[in-house]
Amino acid sequence: MKASSSARRKKSFSSSQATRISAKKSSTTSAKAWAGRFTEPTNALVERFTTSLPIDRQLFEYDIQGSMAHCQTLEKAKVLSKAECQQLIRGLTRVRSELREGRFPFTDSDEDIHMVVERRLTELIGPLGGKLHTGRSRNDQVTLDLRLYLREQLQVLHGKIHAVQAAFVQQASQHINTFIPGYTHLQRAQPVSLAHHFLAYVEMLERDKARIADALRRVNVMPLGSGALAGSNYPTDRTFTAKLLNFPALSQNSLDAVSDRDYVVEVLNVLSLIMMHLSRLSEELIVWSSQEFSFVELPDGFCTGSSMMPQKKNPDVPELIRGKTGRVYGHLVTLLTTLKGLPLSYNRDLQEDKEPLFDALQTVLDSLSLYAGLIQRMTVRKERVAEAVGSGFLLATELADYLVQEGVPFREAHSIVGRLVQTCIKQKQELGDVSLDDLRTISPRFTKKALNFLTVEGAVDRKAQIGGTARKQVARQLKTWEQRLKKRPSM
Ligand code: ARG
């Protein structure tokens, strides 16, 4: 037992010498910060498989921002002298410039953005760089970076939703008096103001904004000081760090803080719902821009043509947004699945959080930017819409409600008008074509007044309670939205 453990020690000593030699030999790799405990260099495929640098390098601004606050916290705790802190911060500023200007010397063995920044810092300022990571782990560092990043991205997202809402409100202001067939089951149902239809999307998007603001409350929590999992041995003032980084709250349990990715799931959930809304909008625009409907004309700059059929103008942008919705849902499920089997606290699986998050965010931000432009520039084909609203028995419910006004129970009124519609269909007539005599053949309860109920304007304006499509109501809603959206978008 004794002999074998001393043999192991001997073997390990000579192998670690081998590591040092091989690390020196390679010009593109540098020794890992954690190489001390290892007896051979990392396998090349392992390096490629475990690196997160291609993904997390976009976090560099936040990584450096967090590191600067960490230095100041270490200084306050008297772990660093004032001069050391200043030197570290100056070094970090230089590293940041190199990264910003695209002249940062990456090497093949760089593992992630956190290690890369520290390596370069040490190259630039010498062994003092090695003090940066005192009392910190990449486990609390990475979640800090992600929270700083998300905080900013959620603001951007909020602003982009605001822009789409503004485009819809602008369109709505042009179309209070444009009446379209409202649909249920994609069958003509009742006429509505087109402005009312546009404002429905503004409502949906407002809920998305509310969900962003809610998610932000849980993103906006400062995890640094949790160390690898248990906290840190240094008397760092975490409240001070939080203040420096403008966090309103501190994580209260180090184990939870390094393993928590709920906030990423929440953001992916918000993103999925936004895409679901945009996908439903896409479906509508695809249908509405078809020759069969022809309710809207999409701007040429947002459509593409066919390589074979010269006449084609395709709604590719709405189609792709509808298509990419699956991709964003996929990212949500990816992360939920990654998390479901993880014991406390940090596990490397967590590294898989960033790729789906970044891709989902980019997809949603692009989709929103595209829709802000497309909606603003889309034109409504008023003649086509007027034609559509004039046929298809959209006013049948009005007639039934007229009969109710005359004292007929609704169920009976429904049946009378149902028979009328059936007769019209047989005689190839629309409701607008029927005379009082025709009505009275179906039921003696009809009087001359019934004909007044057969106008689209009347049908729309009778829905006059809060939330209804009456023009007065829609104008009121529109005004409210114009007021609300006038304010600069902020959470
Ligand atoms: N790159 C990792 C991530 O994105 C952070 C590194 C944590 N590594 C570790 N060995 N604890 O989550």
207-233 residue pLDDT tens: 999 999 999 999 999 999 999 999 999
Kind and range of the H or E run holding 439? helix 436-442
The answer to whether 117 touches 67, Cβ cutoff 8 Å, is: yes
Q: Which atom of ligand 1 is nearest to the CA of 112?
A: 1
CA distance linking residue 173 with residue 377, whole number of Å: 14
CA of 419 to the centre of ligand 1 (A): 71
372 and 400 fall within a common domain: no
CATH number of the domain enclosing 429:
1.10.40.30
Q: What confidence tier does 306 reach under pLDDT thresholds 50, 70, 90?
A: confident
The answer to whether 240 touches 175, Cβ cutoff 8 Å, is: no
Q: Which atom of ligand 1 is nearest to the CA of 34?
A: 10
Q: What is the token pair recorded at 455? A: 């106008």
**Running DSSP on this structure, what letter comes out for residue 290?**
S
Count the residues in the chain: 491
Kind and range of the H or E run holding 192? strand 187-193
> Choosing from 185, 307, 435, 490, which is the catalytic residue?
185
Write down the pLDDT at residue 30.
60
458 and 324 fall within a common domain: no
256 and 368 fall within a common domain: yes
What type of residue is 122?
T
Instruction: List C-alpha distances in Å: 111 to 36, 38, 51, 119, 146.
Output: 16, 16, 5, 11, 17
pLDDT > 90? residue 57 = yes
In a domain, 366, yes or no: yes
Nearest residue (CA) to ligand 1, atom 6? 138
CB atoms within 10 A of CB 47: 16
DSSP-derived secondary structure for 198-249:
HHHHHHHHHHHHHHHHHHHHHH-EE-TT-TTTT--SS---HHHHHHHTT-SE
In a domain, 153, yes or no: yes
**Running DSSP on this structure, what letter comes out for residue 190?**
E
CA distance linking residue 182 with residue 394, whole number of Å: 9
In a domain, 367, yes or no: yes
What type of residue is 52?
S
> Whose structure tokens read 């929440």?
266
CA of 364 to the centre of ligand 1 (A): 26
CA distance linking residue 294 with residue 388, whole number of Å: 10
Residue 254 designated active-site: no
CA of 142 to the centre of ligand 1 (A): 7
Our answer on whether the CB atom of 52 is closer than 6 Å to any ligand 1 atom is yes
Q: What confidence tier does 420 reach under pLDDT thresholds 50, 70, 90?
A: very high
CATH number of the domain enclosing 143:
1.20.200.10
Our answer on whether the CB atom of 372 is closer than 6 Å to any ligand 1 atom is no
Q: What is the token pair recorded at 231? A: 């906290």
The answer to whether 63 touches 114, Cβ cutoff 8 Å, is: yes
Q: Which of 383, 408, 434 is the last residue of a domain?
A: 383
Q: What confidence tier does 12 reach under pLDDT thresholds 50, 70, 90?
A: very low
In a domain, 375, yes or no: yes
The answer to whether 219 touches 264, Cβ cutoff 8 Å, is: no
pLDDT > 80? residue 22 = no
Q: Which atom of ligand 1 is nearest to the CA of 137?
A: 11
CA distance linking residue 43 with residue 37, whole number of Å: 15
Boundaries of domain holding 217: 138-176+192-383
What type of residue is 313?
K
In a domain, 184, yes or no: no
The three-class DSSP label of residue 167 is: helix
Q: What is the token pair recorded at 414? A: 């429904």
Our answer on whether the CB atom of 136 is closer than 6 Å to any ligand 1 atom is no
In a domain, 5, yes or no: no
Our answer on whether the CB atom of 112 is closer than 6 Å to any ligand 1 atom is yes
Angle (CA) 350-355-360 rounded to 5° is 120
CA distance linking residue 99 with residue 194, whole number of Å: 50
- pTM of the predicted model as reported, rounded to 2 decimal places: 0.91
CA of 351 to the centre of ligand 1 (A): 6
In a domain, 319, yes or no: yes
Q: Which atom of ligand 1 is nearest to the CA of 56?
A: 4
365 and 397 fall within a common domain: no
Q: Which atom of ligand 1 is nearest to the CA of 111?
A: 1
- The residue-averaged pLDDT of 153-181 equals 98
Mutate to test the pocket of ligand 1, among 38, 116, 140, 142 (most ligand atoms within 8 A of CB): 142
The answer to whether 371 touches 278, Cβ cutoff 8 Å, is: yes
The three-class DSSP label of residue 295 is: coil
The three-class DSSP label of residue 132 is: coil
Q: What confidence tier does 7 reach under pLDDT thresholds 50, 70, 90?
A: very low
Write down the pLDDT at residue 168.
98
Residue 175 designated active-site: no
Our answer on whether the CB atom of 338 is closer than 6 Å to any ligand 1 atom is no
376 and 248 fall within a common domain: yes
pLDDT > 80? residue 102 = yes
The answer to whether 43 touches 51, Cβ cutoff 8 Å, is: no
Write down the pLDDT at residue 108.
80
Q: Which of 349, 383, 417 is the last residue of a domain?
A: 383
Residue-wise pLDDT tens digits, 275-291: 999 999 999 999 999 99
Write down the pLDDT at residue 39.
87
> Choosing from 15, 97, 306, 369, which is the catalytic residue?
306
pLDDT > 90? residue 401 = yes
CA distance linking residue 404 with residue 412, whole number of Å: 9
321 and 422 fall within a common domain: no
Comparing CA positions, the residue from 451, 354, 441, 374 lying closest to residue 112 is 354
- The residue-averaged pLDDT of 307-333 equals 95
Q: What is the token pair recorded at 281? A: 């909008």
Q: Which of 383, 398, 421 is the last residue of a domain?
A: 383
62 and 157 fall within a common domain: no
The three-class DSSP label of residue 296 is: strand
269 and 284 fall within a common domain: yes
299 and 405 fall within a common domain: no
Kind and range of the H or E run holding 297? strand 296-297
478 and 419 fall within a common domain: yes
The answer to whether 442 touches 400, Cβ cutoff 8 Å, is: no
pLDDT > 90? residue 105 = yes
CA distance linking residue 420 with residue 341, whole number of Å: 62
Our answer on whether the CB atom of 272 is closer than 6 Å to any ligand 1 atom is no
- How many distinct structural domains can be found in the chain? 3
pLDDT > 80? residue 1 = no
In a domain, 45, yes or no: no
CATH number of the domain enclosing 122:
1.10.275.10
The answer to whether 459 touches 191, Cβ cutoff 8 Å, is: yes
223 and 336 fall within a common domain: yes
- The residue-averaged pLDDT of 165-192 equals 97
- Beta strands, E only, 298-383: 379-380
373 and 424 fall within a common domain: no
Cis peptide preceding 345, ω within 30 of 0? yes
Report the mean per-residue pLDDT for the chain: 93
